[in-house]
């Protein structure tokens, strides 16, 4: 028999049941699965369950709330789709680790830890040097093929764990903007903010999914073939000169690139070659 859910004890099968039992309102207009989902989110946000903690099992939730397994699985599936939990067959459901959310023009923020100060974002510099530009890099930065560029390799860390890898090339025309003291702090472009060269600048990005290769496996400590998010970004100054070319790789389950408030429908005269409905 399971002990009082408010006692914080373990049942025979599954993890600890923590905190005070909350009520399901069967007379409410909201679906039962949605109510359970919101109750679990509230417990996660309040710190009842921390990242890595195991949630009560389906059997425990059924006993606690008197809900069917179908309803419980629906709620847990939605939490999984939102990135709030991870589910492993034969092990259970666990509160997901922090996911870093990136919005264009805004700083990074945590998704799965609900207090900003709980997330420790940092950089580990792997190398920094001036190198001869490869043909592709020279073309993107619009510089002479014999020019040398500033190459910066860094790991992006959350609580000391690598979630991303950055390979940046800075045009020699903007060498005076490089702040060597800022390579391991701040946002991804903090090291280039000196001198005001980024004011009025623009950035183009290509985002795609790729499998982790042998080098990625070692850098990000994941299995080969793990889904990664690949970001290729080119920053261009206000006067049209390329500043930085970036290739970044992020763990697909630890990083989100979020774009809000785009028009749902593109005006017909905006781009004759594009579909009118945004994906």
Interatomic CA distance for residues 49 and 195, integer angstroms: 45
Alpha-carbon distance 138 to 7, whole Å? 64
Question: Does the structural domain 104-257 have CATH classification 3.40.1410.10?
Answer: yes
Three-class SS state of 66: coil
**Of 108, 103, 110, which Cα lies nearest the Cα of 262?**
103
Q: Which residue has the tokens 């020699």?
A: 172
Could you report the per-residue pLDDT of 64-120, keeping only the tens digit for each? Answer: 999 999 999 999 999 988 878 888 888 899 998 777 777 766 655 555 444 444 568
pLDDT reading at 267 higher than 60: yes
Whose tokens are 């990083």? That residue is 255
Report how far residue 137's alpha carbon sits from residue 245's, in angstroms, rounded to the nearest whole number.
7
The dotted CATH code for 7-95 is 1.10.10.10
**Sheet of 100-102, strands arranged across:** 109-110, 100-102, 255-257
Per-residue confidence (pLDDT) for residue 125, from 0 to 100: 98
Domains in the chain: boundaries: 7-95, 104-257
Tens digits of residue pLDDT in 233-253: 999 999 999 999 999 999 988
Measured CA to CA, the distance from residue 5 to residue 71 in angstroms comes to: 20
According to DSSP, residue 18 is labeled: -
Kindly tell me the sign of the dihedral angle through the C-alpha atoms of 11, 14, 16, 20: negative
Q: Residue count of the chain, please give it.
A: 279
Q: What is the pLDDT of residue 128?
A: 98
Q: Do 7-95 and 104-257 fold alike per CATH?
A: no
pLDDT at 277 over 60: no
Q: What is the pLDDT of residue 27?
A: 87
In sign, the C-alpha dihedral spanning 262, 266, 272, 277 is positive
Predicted confidence at residue 10, as pLDDT, reads 41
């Amino acid at each position: 028999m399971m002990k009082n859910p408010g006692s914080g004890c373990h049942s025979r099968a599954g993890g600890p049941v923590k905190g005070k039992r909350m009520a399901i309102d069967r007379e409410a207009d909201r679906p039962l699965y949605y109510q359970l989902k919101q109750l679990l989110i509230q417990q996660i946000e309040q710190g009842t369950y921390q990242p890595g903690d195991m949630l009560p099992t389906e059997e425990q939730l059924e006993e606690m709330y008197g809900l069917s397994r179908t309803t419980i699985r629906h709620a847990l599936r939605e939490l999984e789709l939102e990135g709030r939990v991870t589910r492993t067959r034969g092990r259970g459901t666990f509160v997901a680790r922090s996911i870093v959310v990136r919005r264009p023009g805004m700083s990074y923020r945590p998704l799965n830890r609900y207090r900003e100060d709980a997330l420790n974002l940092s950089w580990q510099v792997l190398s920094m040097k001036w190198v001869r530009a490869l043909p592709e890099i020279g073309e993107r930065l619009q510089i002479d093929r014999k020019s040398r560029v500033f190459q910066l390799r860094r790991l992006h860390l959350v609580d000391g764990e690598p979630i991303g890898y950055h390979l940046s090339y800075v045009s020699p025309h903007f060498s005076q903007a490089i702040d060597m003291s800022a390579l391991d702090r701040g946002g991804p472009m903090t090291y280039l903010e000196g001198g005001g060269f980024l004011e009025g600048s623009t950035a183009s990005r290509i985002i795609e999914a790729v499998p982790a290769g042998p080098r990625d496996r070692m850098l990000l400590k994941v299995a080969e073939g793990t889904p990664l998010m690949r970001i290729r970004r080119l920053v261009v100054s206000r006067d049209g000169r390329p500043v930085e070319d970036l290739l970044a790789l992020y763990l697909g389950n630890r990083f989100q690139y979020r774009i809000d408030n785009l028009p749902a429908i593109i005006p017909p005269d905006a781009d004759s070659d594009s579909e009118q409905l945004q994906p």
